[in-house]
Structure 1
Amino acid sequence: MSDLRRIDPKPFLPRIPKGPKPDVGERPELQWLKIDRLRIDPRYQREIGRRGADNIVAIVPKFKWAKFTPVVVAPIGEGLFAVIDGQHRATAAAACEFESVPCVIIQVDQADQADAFVAINANVTAMSPLQLHAARLAAGDKIADELTQACEAAGVSICRYPVPANKMKPGETLAVGMLQSALAKYGRDVLVAALSCVTKTRKGNPGMIRKAIVQALCSVIEADREWLGDLPRLIFAMQTFDFAAQFNRASAAAIESGEGVAALLIDAIAAHLDGKFEASVPAEAAEEVTTPRRDGKAPVRAAKSAPIEPPVAKAPGRPSATGPVTIGRDFISRGGRRIEVAPRAALLFAAVHKAMPNCVGDEWLVSKLWTVRPPNAGDLIDQIVRNLDLASLGLEIRTHRGVGRQLVEVA
């Protein structure tokens, strides 16, 4: 109990203007009132809009009196009360079939009712995402606890209060919302590996646990989860990656190109690991890993680190390749023929191949290709498809406007 604080106004007294004390009015009363005696005055109260409706729907399934703030009301005669603050809470209680709610009754006229409404709703100290996370963690929230454990495994601590980036210690971050999203999207293992690449290289990279950096790392690791099998070697490979320099470079390039910073960092990180991480892979580890196809067709095989061979050009009149397809980070091969492709093109091909023979919508492809959606995502996908020359492999990606992209076999 020694760490609990008392209510102490002394630090703020010097800032309070001197003068006569204000007229504080009559002391409010606390009562339980019937909900059918409460009224809404439209002259100052808001209609329950979409967000308000969402709040009510969210409150009802988890309703607890411990979370219910008394409704502020004022008497308006005939045993009725105008709701000054709390119409959403009262509505949620009514939806739970409660007849009464706890109320704070203040004695004010109609003009002062509107003034009280403005004061209550305007003078609210909003909680930051950092404070909300700390409160949820103290309340035993499962999601907050899982995020905290994942961060601790990677040497990351979520700050309680804002700290300037140039004063952060290694492992400190303010990006709690981004970390929550990354944990939900990529899972614990990928997030821990991504964060470890930052905290366990180059003296901890203070101030570099940023949204774009973590999203880019998660995307690269998710694209090839084999890196999770040897985390120490992945961290060793990232020792020479300068996060600060690459982040600044990507930020500057994003202004000119219009592409997201995270998308540019994905390319930089993937290129770095292609040169550093794979170089130390033993020859015997270059065997292919086969993963089953959901539709029962030929399996997709992702090569670990097979040497890049020059693409096989299609000879005139030569029949197209057939058989299983192998997809690497920068190549696609089939039936002994191989074409080199950009890493993002390989990701797109893997997505449409997995869905074959069904179509894949552009929105789903965008989520696979970029962490942050570029403004011209549709045009970029069109360009990637145009640049993919799959004829020698007996394949073609067809675009069905309004439907999606479809990978088909061609003669």
Structure 2
Amino acid sequence: MQNNVRPIAPVSIAGLTPNSPSTGMPIFELVKPTDLFVDPAYQRNISEKGSRQIRRIIEGFDWTKFKPPICAYSEHEGRTMLKVLDGQHTAIAAASNPHVDVIPVMIVEAEDTISQAKAFIGQNTDRLGVTNLQMHQAALAAADEDAQTLELVCHRANIKVLKTTNAYTGDGCRQTIAIKQIEGLISRRGAQRSREILEVLANAERGPLTAPQIKAVELLLSDHEYCDKITDEDLTDAIVELLTTAEEEAKLLAVTHKIPFWRALAITWFRKCKKRRQPLTRAA
């Protein structure tokens, strides 16, 4: 039985407020891929995985599979150029293929770095392969307040947020890539308390700071079952004293009691931590 084709038809917009585009409709142009540029303020460098992707595109280059890069005209040092907002792997593959002279690109209105970075975020939100770190760097370039707050909190805690997952130096002390965990921490606890929580780990001189570690410290310093019995400084001392054995004990505890690793890590640190004396309650 042959399936009937179906036309594109509008859906109901009841309850919706359709947005009116603030910029003009994109245009398409044919350009030499080598005439395109990439802005490192919001674009990632090509990783080993990205290089493999480019090679696959070169070997299987087919116009039926081609997705035009999204670009924007921009002024840079007195020169007008086309910057790639999305699709740099495709553009590099095309520039590397001797059978391809020009490619079509879609050009949108985004003249400055902030608007270009916002466009990059819009193109890559919820896309697989674009990491939280890359989205955070783009948000910084777009002057996003939440991203700026995260950087400020980490800076005041003397913690460096890395730009890529393989950028750790030394033992990773005071360095992190746990962007989503810190975002959630700030959302739940506010900037000041988040800084204090992160300082507990930073002052322990352990690295890198991981999401389970951050979550464990947040629990210990926020949950009434624990927070009234320990101080920030005593928790730092416990983390230093246990070193890597804490993770080993926590893994065993997590398996034995079927609890999340981060919670097991919190319990392990708490057991080691010096406890405050609790005031005696007077009998009625």
Q: CA deviation at 1:165?
A: 6.7
User: Which residue number in structure 1 is paired with residue 213 of structure 2?
Assistant: 213
Residue 306 of structure 1 is matched in structure 2 by: 279
One-letter amino acid of the counterpart of residue 207, structure 2: P
Please, which runs of 5 or more residues in structure 1 have no aligned partner? 1-41, 66-99, 107-114, 279-285, 287-304, 308-332, 338-411
Rounded to whole Å, the distance in 2 between the matches of 1:242 and 1:262 is: 15
Cα distance change on mapping 1:210 and 1:184 into 2, 3 Å:
same
Residues in 2 aligned to 1:158 and 1:241: alpha-carbon distance in whole angstroms: 25
1:194 and 1:218 in contact (8 A); partners too: yes
Correspondence 1:10-409 to 2 at 5 A: 60=19, 64-65=22-23, 101-104=25-28, 116=63, 118-120=65-67, 126-163=129-166, 167-201=170-204, 204-207=205-208, 209-224=209-224, 231=232, 233-234=233-234, 237-238=237-238, 240-273=240-273, 276-278=274-276, 305-306=278-279, 336=283
Task: Count residues with an aligned counterpart.
Answer: 188
CA deviation after TM superposition for structure 1 residue 121, in Å: 8.6
Specify the SS of the correspondent of 1:104.
strand
The sequence identity of aligned pairs, in percent, is 13
Deviations 1:203-225 (A, max 9, x none): x1122x11111101011111256
Give the Cα–Cα distance (whole angstroms) in 2 for the partners of residues 121 and 255 of structure 1. Answer: 49
Amino acid at match of 1:156: I
Q: Tell me which structure has the larger Cα radius of gyration.
A: 1
Code of the aligned partner of 1:104: F
The alignment partner of 1:266 has SS state of: helix
Q: TM-score, normalised on structure 2?
A: 0.53
Q: Is the 8 A contact 2:239 2:269 kept in 1?
A: no
The Cα shift of 1:140 comes to 1.3
- Residues 219 and 266, structure 1, Cα contact 8 Å, conserved in 2: yes
Q: Would the aligned equivalents of 2:246 and 2:265 in 1 still touch at CA under 8 Å?
A: yes
- For 1:47 and 1:118, locate their aligned partners in 2 and report how far apart those are by CA, in whole Å: 25
Which of 1 and 2 has higher RCO (CA within 8 Å, sep 6+)?
2
| Conservation of the 8 A alpha-carbon contact between 2:246 and 2:269 | no
Return the offset for 1:191. Answer: 2.1
8 Å CA contact retained: 1:130, 1:161: yes
Q: C-alpha deviations, 1:288-318, integer Å up to 9, x for none?
A: xxxxxxxxxxxxxxxxx226xxxxxxxxxxx
Deviation at 1:150, TM superposition (A): 0.8
Q: Distance in 2 between matches of 1:226 and 1:182?
A: 20
Residue identity matched to 1:223: D
1:46/1:222 CA distance change after superposition, 3 Å:
farther
Cα-to-partner distance string for 1:153-210 (whole Å, 9 max, x where unaligned): 1111111111277854311111111111111122223322222122112xx1122x11
Counterpart CA distance in 2 for 1:254 and 1:263 is 8
Inter-partner Cα distance in structure 1 for 2:243 and 2:10: 46
Q: Judge conservation of contact 1:156–1:199 (CA < 8 Å) in 2.
A: yes
Tell me how far 1:130 sits from its aligned partner.
1.0
Change (3 A) 1:47 1:130: farther
Contact 2:219 2:266 in 1 (8 A): yes
How far apart, in 1, do the equivalents of 2:149 and 2:268 lie? 30
Q: CA deviation at 1:251?
A: 2.3
1:221–1:101 CA distance, 2 compared to 1 (3 A): same
